[in-house]
Amino acid sequence: MKIKQAMGLFIPPIVLHAYKALRRNRLENNGYESQSNYLHGNYASWSEALSESSGYDNEIILAKTREALLKVKNGEAGYERDSVLFDEIHYSWPLLAGLMWVAAQYRGSLNVLDFGGSFGSTYFQNRSFLQQLPYVRWNIIEQPRHVKIGRALFEDDFLRFYTDITECLADTQPIVVVLSSVLQYLERPYTILDQILQISCDYLIVDRTPFWAGSTDHLCVQTIPPNIYPASYPSWIFSRPRFFSHIHEDWKIMVTFDCPDKLTGPIDFSYQGMIIARSKQIS
């Protein structure tokens, strides 16, 4: 019997609950979603925001994310998010529900294009559910250095890596695109969004993306706590009306949902997600 299971037999639930709350608070206070992880500024251009930050293309970020996800892959840790390891998986239930909803329409087959998916963070997060499907292929689009490491250390019969959308589409035909915590870190996010909406794919799931109610996008710099990794990089807070206006007429937003991410910033914003489908798929 595992130690955690044995503890559950003898320790009252209220004590276990308090312990978990204390542990969670300690993780937060150690910086993952603390005040030292925040958005600031209002920059006129991407180049200006980049000049005020260290940038996302950072060797420290790459190395720490690689090591963290190797532990998850090998069963030494439960879950990784932004290079931080957790004992328990923090599921994005709307994202998982969207994936399973899409798979249900293809007799349990799921072929995913995960744009900016690191070394498979979302794949490993949902692996125990995905493995119950008869067919899964998870295709990650990433920077060349990520792809090189991904192919060497993470690629298998389910997980594949590509440097761009064109390369991926030449090899396979995804049925759903996942954009999880990625659009805000792109210099030209609407260019990528438009490209994705034009490919032969019928579903799109957006997750962990910052929005506000204003009419224009707000460009900030996100500063990361040094105990995670010493870095800062540009991040958009999207105008909800402007973002929605980029969803083509032949697509329909099925549902929007709130995400648990809680960072401070210069304006009132929140992290949200949405499930989008081609209108022809909706009966």
Predicted pLDDT of residue 19: 38
Predicted pLDDT of residue 81: 85
Predicted pLDDT of residue 23: 41
Predicted pLDDT of residue 74: 93
**pLDDT (average), residues 112-121:** 97
Q: What whole-number distance in Å separates Cα of residue 205 and Cα of residue 253?
A: 10
Instruction: Tell me if 207 sits within 8 A of 181, measured CB to CB.
Output: yes
Segment 154-172, tens digit of pLDDT: 999 999 999 999 999 999 9
Q: Which fold has domain 38-281?
A: Rossmann fold (3.40.50)
Q: What whole-number distance in Å separates Cα of residue 280 and Cα of residue 211?
A: 27
Q: Would the pLDDT of 56 be above 80?
A: no
Segment 19-29, tens digit of pLDDT: 344 344 434 43
Binned at pLDDT 50, 70 and 90, residue 12 comes out as: low
Q: What whole-number distance in Å separates Cα of residue 247 and Cα of residue 89?
A: 31
**pLDDT (average), residues 248-256:** 94
Predicted pLDDT of residue 133: 98
Segment 194-204, tens digit of pLDDT: 999 999 999 99
What pTM did the predictor assign? Answer: 0.86
Binned at pLDDT 50, 70 and 90, residue 280 comes out as: confident
Predicted pLDDT of residue 54: 84
Predicted pLDDT of residue 57: 65
What is the 3-class SS of the chain, one letter each residue? CCHHHHHHHHCCHHHHHHHHHHHHHHHHHCCCCCCCCEEECCCCCHHHHHHCCCCCCCHHHHHHHHHHHHHHHCCCCCEEECCEEECCCCCCHHHHHHHHHHHHCCCCEEEEEEECCCCCHHHHHCHHHHCCCCEEEEEEECCHHHHHHHHHHCCCCCEEEECCHHHHHCCCCCCEEEEECCHHHCCCHHHHHHHHHHCCCCEEEEEEEEEECCCCCEEEEEEECCCCCCEEEEEEEEEHHHHHHCCCCCEEEEEEEECCCCCECCCCCEEEEEEEEEHHHCC
